Amino acid sequence: MAPLKSLENEYPIIDSNFQSFCASHTIFSVEDFLLYDLDALIAFADNDHTCSHTLKQGIDQLLSIIDSQQPPLLNGLQLFEDAKQNKHVLPTGFEGIDALLGGGLSEGQLTELVGPSSSGKTQACLLSASTVAKHKSSVIYLDTSNSFSPQRIAHLVGQTSGYVFNSQADHRYLQEVLDRIICYSVFDLYQMFDVLHQLKMKLKCQIGKSDCHVRLLIVDSISSLITPILGGSGPQGHAMMISAGNLLKRLANEHNIAVLVTNHVVGGEGGTSKPALGESWKSVPHVRLLLCRDYGSNVANISILKHPSMASGKTASWTMYSFDDKM
């Protein structure tokens, strides 16, 4: 937010006199003003007999600046209307997940997939990406561990839609699907912030254009970006983690995108395992799903750890596609 000095041009009432009055109460910016006791400040202005009126006008001006910048007050009907019109459910292509979640991932929400390695997290991401891309929407895919592969996508598209990619037309179809999945290799959290901020700018410019709407954002895996910065005693790592979550949720809500992130599990007390990233992260996602798979079996289980409207503990299972056999 702005220092008071920068407001002077636009609002002449915030003149040097008002600024020095504020400075004498250690108010240099709009943030300082927000943290200050307003009544006390007005009382100080009252005590200034020479120019109490103009000082109070200045305070009033600051308040109206704040008023114009603050988040909107909505009522339940407006919220519901926005949700009904703009926040749809995106099928992932997994019958198990889609049935469990009542149709798929919700736009505007952050869904987290938790599971040990090779439990099918990346496959879930790839299949969701290809399903959404097949329905002519764009997907942003942030890949942190080089697990994204166009071959696997092609394979999934082939398996799920019966294409064999022998003909020219089939190849063109596949190319179109792949073109709609934009993959970024991201190796640390700062890079992710960069990509997301760029995306935010791009989406802001694209409002109104209906050519190819981004409907799904995938981060596989978010825990590999966050875990390295969580060490140490300072709060910086946690602060960045929460900021990353807030940014993802903001993108999801403002641009009606379903966000899918993956998280690994770590060993807890007494031989149990629990999702990584700790207690603070738990309150970030809207939906948390736990994947697990038996060794040597192709059947994966998925259960709800947390959902805004569904009980935790609900489960479903599906048979995983095996890449190794066929490729």
Partner 1 sequence: MLSLLSTIRPFSLPPPLHTVPLRVGNVLEIVGPSPSAKTHILIQVAINCILPKHYGGLDQLALFIDLDSRFDIMRFSQILIHRIRIMHSQPTLEPHNGGADYDHTLYNLCMSRFLYIRCSNSLEFLQTLKTLNRRLEKEKEVHGLSVHLLMIDSIGAFHWVDRASMFSSLRDNNRKLFLQSVSEAVVRDIKKLLQVHPMLVIATKSVIYGDRYFTASNEVKGNFSKDNCEERCSRNVPRSHQHFQYREYMPSVWQSFVTHRILVRSSDNHIVTSNSQNSSFYLLEWLLPRSSFPEKIIVKDAGVFVDS
Q: Which of residues 16-35 bind partner 1 (CB under 8 A)?
A: 26, 31-32, 34-35
Find the binding residues for partner 1 in span 290-309 (CB under 8 A).
290, 292-294, 297, 299, 301, 303-306, 308-309
Q: Quick one: angle between helices 222-230 and 236-255, nearest 10?
A: 150
**Looking at 117, 211, 271, 325, which residue binds partner 1 (CB under 8 A)?**
271
The interface with partner 1 within residues 94-123 (CB under 8 A) comprises: 109
Asked if 315 is part of the footprint of partner 1 (rule: CB under 8 A), the reply reads yes
Residue 114 CB contacts under 8 Å (≥ 6 apart), including other chains: 262, 263, 264, 265, 275, 288, 289, 290, 291, 305
CA distance 260 to 149: 18
Determine if 325 is a binding residue for partner 1 (CB under 8 A): no
**Smallest distance, partner 1 to C-beta of residue 46, A:** 17
Q: Does 260 bind partner 1 (CB under 8 A)?
A: no
Cα first-last separation, the chain? 54
Instruction: State which of residues 24, 207, 279, 325 lies at the interface with partner 1 (CB under 8 A).
Output: 279
CB of 280 to partner 1, least distance (A): 4
Q: Would you call 189 helix, strand, or coil by DSSP?
A: helix
Closer residue to partner 1 in complex, CB, 51/87: 87
CB of 6 to partner 1, least distance (A): 16
Contacts of 182 (CB under 8 A, 6+ apart): 138, 139, 140, 141
Among 43, 74, 169, 212, binds partner 1 (CB under 8 A): 74
The single-letter code of the amino acid at 175 is Q
CB of 227 to partner 1, least distance (A): 15
Candidates 9-17, 41-49, 73-81, 145-153; binding stretch for partner 1 (CB under 8 A): 73-81
- Residue 11 CA to residue 242 CA, distance in Å, equals 35
Please say which residue, 152 or 264, places its beta carbon nearer to partner 1.
264
Among 20, 49, 73, 166, binds partner 1 (CB under 8 A): 73
CB 115 within 8 A of CB 291: yes
User: CA of 212: how far to CAs of 70, 97, 180, 216, 244, in Å?
Assistant: 31, 25, 8, 12, 25
Q: Site residues for partner 1, window 179-238 (CB under 8 A)?
A: 234-236, 238
DSSP-assigned beta bridge partners for residue 219: 142, 261
CA 13/CA 19 separation, integer angstroms:
10
Site string for partner 1, 44-63 (x = CB under 8 A): -------------------x
CB of residue 187 to partner 1, shortest distance in Å: 22
